[in-house]
Structure 1
Amino acid sequence: MISLATYNVENLFDRPAILNLKDQAAINQRLAQVAELQNLIDKDSYSAADKARIKALDNELSRFIEIQEDVGKLFTGRGNNRRVTASGRGDWIGGIQFLRANFSDQQRLNTAAMIKQINADILCLVEVEGNQALRSFNAELLNYRYKQHLSIDSPNDPRGIDLGLYLRTPTLGRIQTNAFDKKAGKGIFSRDCLEIECQLPSGESLFLLLNHFKSKMNNSPESDTRRKGQAARVAEIVAQRYAGTIDYYAVVGDFNDTPDSGPISPLATSPHIRDVFDVVNQPANDRWTYFYRGQFNQIDYVMVSPALAAKVRGVEVLRQGMPVAADKPELGITPLPGITGHSTAASDHGAIRVKLDL
């Protein structure tokens, strides 16, 4: 018997300050401003209005980002005298860097306590800083609980919220990234669809397709379209590379949408995978992995192949590390010791753990 889990940890040691705001609407607003700033500084030619707006956004976002100038200058002067003097993108080389906010010792301990509570042999992680963070966290806070780890720095997102994996008894086999997949000349994935072969002690292999889809961003049609394109590409990969040729595979991660949504429909209707909640007939009111503005929703998933579905022996959502566990005692969820609300929570997400007879 082995256990497979997926968990959006929302980083391990530190996090982009812009993502550490308490309210998701405020995060979305700031990210929209960053996107506007990026579009402005990428222009071939800056008008007077462009220059004024670049300066205004740079000032407004100063707690969250800095513009790094590697060659040439976008700005000259300091303080009130700081102004845009570049005439366009060709005058300088550089880009937007996200400032990071360190977690408190208590937050790190709570994240570690939650990972220990999950106690998975295969732990799929969403929003990690990279391989060094996984290595250090395993050594310093998990007492080398895991024998192997993996993260690939996505070229699609500079914020240090990459996909990761911890392995306890299985070992790493084949790895494939899909970060560079394109459709109509545009990148498909916000981070990646990371394919990983886990070689089990039994000699069999379990293949994972680890994902973190585009966020909703105020429910904009553009984000919905992007998310649906990502789901469709994952469904296509499953059909082309796994269905009918490989027995044990699972699509896992944070899909940033609900099971009945349009963007997730390419996966929800695929004949090649099933949500583990459907496999075990989990009650509808016990599938939620995320709480926001009074809504309990499932946005995290483990979807398994038909052969793997036959091996499922139990499914559980672990919510003890969420702020809602402390904020709403009427839910009957006992928070982990030390979790008192948002500022000390391990993550806003619950973890899904699946027991497999493998």
Structure 2
Amino acid sequence: MRIASFNVENLFERAVALNQDQWTSNQGENPSRWAAGRETLEIYSKLNALLRKQTYTPADQAQIIEYLIALGLEKSDESKLVILRRNRGSLVKRPRGAPLQVVAGGRDDWIGWLELKREAVDEVATQNTARVLKEVDADIVVVVEAEHRISLCRFNEQVLERIGGRPYDHVMLVDGNDERGIDVGLMTRSLAVIDSVRSHVDDRLGKESVFSRDCPEFHLRLASGEELVVLANHLKSKGYGTPAQSNAKREAQARRVREIYEGLRKTGHAHIVIAGDFNDTPDSGPLAPLLGEGSDLKDISAHPNFDDGGRPGTYANGTKSNKIDYILFSPALFERVTAGGIDRRGVWGGKNGTLWPHFPEMTQASQAASDHAAVWADLDL
């Protein structure tokens, strides 16, 4: 049996501020445009948090105006990157010849939300995403950054089959906490039936959600009669918010995943996989609860038959500092591992795409399947 983890970076639609077509060209990345996209997402997140407050103080109202202007919403409810949806009541007024005004005194005065505008992902890029899954040909795939289950099903039934791949028999994704539509899901062949799913989308640390997306438990029944539990993860990124805040969030998530894992072990589950995009390196402080001293989890990259192709990283150019995608095993399951590796054929690789062989259908960076390589492991199950 083969298990894989792959960050697909959305399949059909992606927030404009996230869409790499906007930030890359044949000449490579444009750092200033990357920065613009990152700034938009940070302001979007801060404004949404502010709009949820029950009461808007004068200082809050001034900050709301500043954020709206920064997002290009001074004169209209729609800009190039975001939309202000207003279903009932009013948040702002735009008097002719006068500055933008916040007229709502708090959350109860209006019904609406801030929404990121979306655009289609390059069709060739979507097909190359399918090619990665075709070539890896795993029986169980943890999928990271799929927009929702309908897209994942459509991708599985239409795109994967169209390029000659084998569609999966079972597809499951539970919407998580990320407003941008980047969720985690699972696809399996018929020999691994999804018996049950437990979501952790509502796990809390104080008043805050622990998981930026979710940490779903997929309980699988294998053709052999054995049970396998898969925890799918996409931990807090380093890209948005201060480093201290991001690290603290990621560490809290890693600690909670460890608690869930240990709870499963105590209730008799011996075969457990934790996989996905952890957004940090193995030696980092935030991942210590999962990978540090006292943890019995085993990383596939530590197996003697693991082939990293000479590059330990899984993201971008595959450097050591870019090892952020993982497949972790409980001890009993690690004993059943026979091989593993990293498949980078869907990643562009360097400014000119020359760091390693990729699919011939990829002629420019925007057509890459993802910035993440797929990680896989073979097990005797």
Q: Which runs of 4+ in 1 moved over 6 A?
A: 78-82, 292-295
Q: TM-score, normalised by structure 1?
A: 0.91
1:109 maps to amino acid: Q
Q: In structure 2, which of residues 347, 357, 381 is the aligned counterpart of residue 322 of structure 1?
A: 347
Q: Which residue of 2 aligns with 1:31?
A: 41
**Pairs aligned (count):** 354
Q: How far apart are residue 153 of structure 1 and its match?
A: 0.8
2:72 maps to amino acid: N
* Farther off after superposition, 117-126 or 12-21: 12-21
Q: Distance in 2 between matches of 1:211 and 1:96?
A: 26
Q: Distance in 2 between matches of 1:25 and 1:264?
A: 26
* Farther off after superposition, 158-167 or 265-274: 265-274
Q: Distance in 1 between matches of 2:317 and 2:357?
A: 19
Structure 1 unaligned segments of length 5 or more: list them.
none
Q: Distance in 2 between matches of 1:209 and 1:258?
A: 19
Q: How far apart are residue 342 of structure 1 and its match?
A: 2.4
Q: How far apart are residue 63 of structure 1 and its match?
A: 1.7
Q: In structure 2, which of residues 322, 327, 331 is the aligned counterpart of residue 297 of structure 1?
A: 322
> Percent identity between the aligned chains?
33
1:29 maps to amino acid: E
Say if 2:71 and 2:81, in contact at 8 Å, map to a contact too. Answer: no
1:160-175 to structure 2, matched below 5 A, reads: 160-169=181-190, 170-175=192-197
Q: Which residue of 1 aligns with 2:157?
A: 139
Q: How far apart are residue 192 of structure 1 and its match?
A: 0.8
Q: Do the aligned partners of residues 283 and 151 (structure 1) sit closer, same or farther apart at CA in structure 2, a change above 3 Å counting?
A: closer
1:5 aligns with 2:15: no
1:345 maps to amino acid: A
Q: Which residue of 1 aligns with 2:302?
A: 278
Say if 1:51 and 1:84, in contact at 8 Å, map to a contact too. Answer: no
Q: TM-score, normalised by structure 2?
A: 0.86
Structure 2 unaligned segments of length 5 or more: list them.
24-30
Q: How big is the alpha-carbon RMSD for the aligned residues of Structure 1 and Structure 2?
A: 2.4
1:245 aligns with 2:268: yes
Q: Which residue of 2 aligns with 1:159?
A: 180
Q: In structure 2, which of residues 110, 117, 121 is the aligned counterpart of residue 99 of structure 1?
A: 117
SS in 2 for 1:207: strand
Say if 2:91 and 2:102, in contact at 8 Å, map to a contact too. Answer: yes
Q: How far apart are residue 69 of structure 1 and its match?
A: 0.8
Q: Which residue of 1 aligns with 2:251?
A: 228
Q: How far apart are residue 283 of structure 1 and its match?
A: 7.3
Q: In structure 1, which of residues 121, 136, 144 is the aligned counterpart of residue 139 of structure 2?
A: 121
1:18 maps to amino acid: A
Say if 2:196 and 2:219, in contact at 8 Å, map to a contact too. Answer: yes
Say if 1:122 and 1:166, in contact at 8 Å, map to a contact too. Answer: yes
Q: Distance in 1 between matches of 2:194 and 2:169?
A: 10
1:45 maps to amino acid: Y
Q: Which residue of 1 aligns with 2:18?
A: 19
1:206 aligns with 2:224: no
Which string of whole-angstrom CA distances, capped at 9 and with x for unpartnered residues, describes residues 24-75 of structure 1? 5444322211123224433422536335314313316822211111211223
Q: Do the aligned partners of residues 80 and 142 (structure 1) sit closer, same or farther apart at CA in structure 2, a change above 3 Å counting?
A: farther
Q: Distance in 2 between matches of 1:122 and 1:210?
A: 11
* Farther off after superposition, 287-296 or 69-78: 287-296
